[in-house]
Amino acid sequence: MNDINPEFRLVALRNVAEAQGGMGQLAKKAHVGRESLYKALSETGNPKWYTLVSLIISLGLNLRLS
> What mean pLDDT do residues 21-27 have?
91
Please determine, for residue 66, whether its predicted confidence score (pLDDT) is greater than 90: no
> For the residues 34-57, what does the mean pLDDT come to?
89
Helix, strand, coil fractions of the chain, as percent rounded to 5? 60, 0, 40
Q: How far, in Å, CA of 42 to CA of 1, rounded?
A: 19
Give the pLDDT confidence score for residue 2 in this predicted structure.
57
Q: 17 pLDDT exceeds 80? A: yes
How far apart are alpha carbons 34 and 13 in whole angstroms? 15
Residue 4's pLDDT is 63
Could you tell me what percent of the chain has a pLDDT over 70?
94
Kindly report each contact of residues 16-22 with a partner whose C-beta sits within 8 Å and lies 24 or more positions away, as own/partner: 16/59, 16/61, 17/41, 17/55, 17/59, 20/59, 20/60
> Region 45-58: what's the mean pLDDT?
89
